[in-house]
Structure 1
């Protein structure tokens, strides 16, 4: 069902709808006509409020969890509220100071991202998320250890001292001397390059006959480079902080348990955050708008942050129940993304 245009609602319907959404976001509980009438802000009788609530329910904007209960906004209603009725509140000085504090000069990018995610989680009372830019692995040294016919262990040492091992399949008939020749070529000709740069250099030297590699040795070199290039591109790093915030003051513990289970599926969560990479501004995913969180009824607020030249390199955001304080949290996520962009650009 598409969200009905805001223009379809008269002033009374808008006022009643806003009061119900505000009440639900504050308490997590359905809001009844008698409660709204007692507040006095609408100047309407309980009967008039009930009639308006019924109209809003027929539009798919409100729902009644029980026959005699009040109403709460549907995900469709929340979408309309966020897109057309919400008045955003800019982060306070204390909030901005807390976010900026995690990004002090001299802090490494990885530490800054981890700290910022923790701060954002604490301020929003949600779980904080950040998609870390893919790390370009720079080659210092590589070696191949033959294990069995057609199998070898590739050991790659990065310029930062990190060591990674991968099991790789080699062409049948590969002998240890050819593996050694492949390692010698990489260490002599490709050391100090990133993996994409090394692959480009290899292709260029093969094309100009500078590589001086036999077919089998060339295959070993290409396989050794490819195993890290494809693996690194497929696994961007996701940092999640503050899952415990989701349990505090939870109204529906079963939904929280489902959400915590969903957070274990890092691959699906990364795919969702990748959708925010191409956005010009903050993206909001409410409930069933995301297949991953359709059962837990959760919302994700995410914004891209940019590096040199304005290129998007990652995403920062929060996840929590659909009854988030959107007016406060959306600008907070946006501010965090802008602050990270200043740090890394």
Structure 2
């Protein structure tokens, strides 16, 4: 999306554009020439021009693609291009207050497993922004301590993965009927021996090499069990939901009732967590704050929504996940952007 350079605008066009954007972000409604004219003490916008002159400037800004006039209103609202120009070149951020910073740090630092901190962070972002908060879980696989396989019926096996941190995961594995009995016990012992102290990905690579080179002492049935299990677990890990979303109800405010189709489209998008996680990967790979406005991103082009996302890092400075907020394009960018950035840094300290 290309916005005209700020230097292409006259001083008065720049000022009127700023007032329209700020007025729209505050109220969610288009801003008209009457609201901009007259001194501020009389309730105007402080523009020392007649309404007719202001309308002329508004028309120019509309022609440049920075403003749009909804059919139901005589006022103007920023386009996605206009919002991008405002965010990149005009916005003055409002850093979190000392009280807000303390509240963020205190909530994230609450004792408990890291999963609870991630959920707290997602809810916190929702509360602070008035939109929906999102946190992408760090890609850190636990190291395994034990693997056990138990037959459930003639064609299904329960695989229990025990991590060194005490976490337990249960997976169901479909197998042919003949792969039972001692084959399960032999496969369990083999997997435990190879997986102990390794992540599932590391264990999978080792097991595949041993089976391919025929160095393993497994019989044919046990090799089949191990190969099927490794393939299923690897695929499962790559498609597992990695996103925590909280605060969707914030998207259903009073202004949403006038544009319920857009909000319904946004909620549908949020249900597709894998697609949203893919979007957040862009911020992870860039290793910097990213702001996606409306149609700039294909995923949210129909719902006309904005995403503010920032990566968070571990103690070694490595990016381990992404957090952010999603809401209507009239988000309070000046407040939310630094809030998301500070929350990312605070979560990084908690991750360690």
TM-score by length of 2: 0.89
Aligned CA distance change for structure 1 residues 248 and 94 (closer, same or farther; 3 Å): farther
Does 2:193 align with 1:156?
Answer: no
Report 1:4-19 matches (<5 A).
Answer: 4-19=4-19
C-alpha contact (below 8 Å) 2:242/2:274 kept by paired residues: no
C-alpha contact (below 8 Å) 2:149/2:185 kept by paired residues: yes
Does 2:65 align with 1:60?
Answer: yes
C-alpha contact (below 8 Å) 1:139/1:194 kept by paired residues: no
Distance in 1 (alpha carbons) for counterparts of 2:158 and 2:230: 10
Distance in 1 (alpha carbons) for counterparts of 2:348 and 2:46: 42
C-alpha contact (below 8 Å) 1:128/1:319 kept by paired residues: yes
Residue by residue, what CA displacement relative to the aligned partner does 1:244-292 show, whole Å, maximum 9, x if unpaired?
Answer: 2222343534132332232212122111112211123211111112222
C-alpha contact (below 8 Å) 1:134/1:236 kept by paired residues: no
Aligned length: 342
Larger CA deviation: 134-143 vs 287-296: 134-143
Does 2:330 align with 1:326?
Answer: no
C-alpha contact (below 8 Å) 1:129/1:240 kept by paired residues: yes
SS in 1 for 2:316: helix
TM-aligned CA deviation for residue 124 of structure 1: 1.0
TM-aligned CA deviation for residue 145 of structure 1: 2.2
Over the aligned positions, Cα root-mean-square deviation in angstroms equals: 2.3
Distance in 2 (alpha carbons) for counterparts of 1:189 and 1:292: 41
Aligned CA distance change for structure 1 residues 175 and 123 (closer, same or farther; 3 Å): closer
**Which of 323, 339, 343 is equivalent to 2:346?**
339
TM-aligned CA deviation for residue 168 of structure 1: 3.1
Residue by residue, what CA displacement relative to the aligned partner does 1:7-58 show, whole Å, maximum 9, x if unpaired?
Answer: 2111111111001001101111111111101325221111111111111101
Structure 2: runs of 5+ lacking an equivalent: 39-43
C-alpha contact (below 8 Å) 2:30/2:73 kept by paired residues: no
After superposing on structure 2, the runs of 4+ consecutive aligned residues of structure 1 that deviate more than 6 Å are: none
Does 2:171 align with 1:165?
Answer: yes
TM-score by length of 1: 0.90
**Which of 281, 299, 302 is equivalent to 2:306?**
299
Residue by residue, what CA displacement relative to the aligned partner does 1:294-313 show, whole Å, maximum 9, x if unpaired?
Answer: 22211111111112422211
Equivalent residue for 1:27? 27
Does 2:265 align with 1:258?
Answer: yes
Aligned CA distance change for structure 1 residues 233 and 46 (closer, same or farther; 3 Å): same
Does 2:105 align with 1:100?
Answer: yes
SS in 2 for 1:69: coil
Distance in 2 (alpha carbons) for counterparts of 1:153 and 1:264: 30
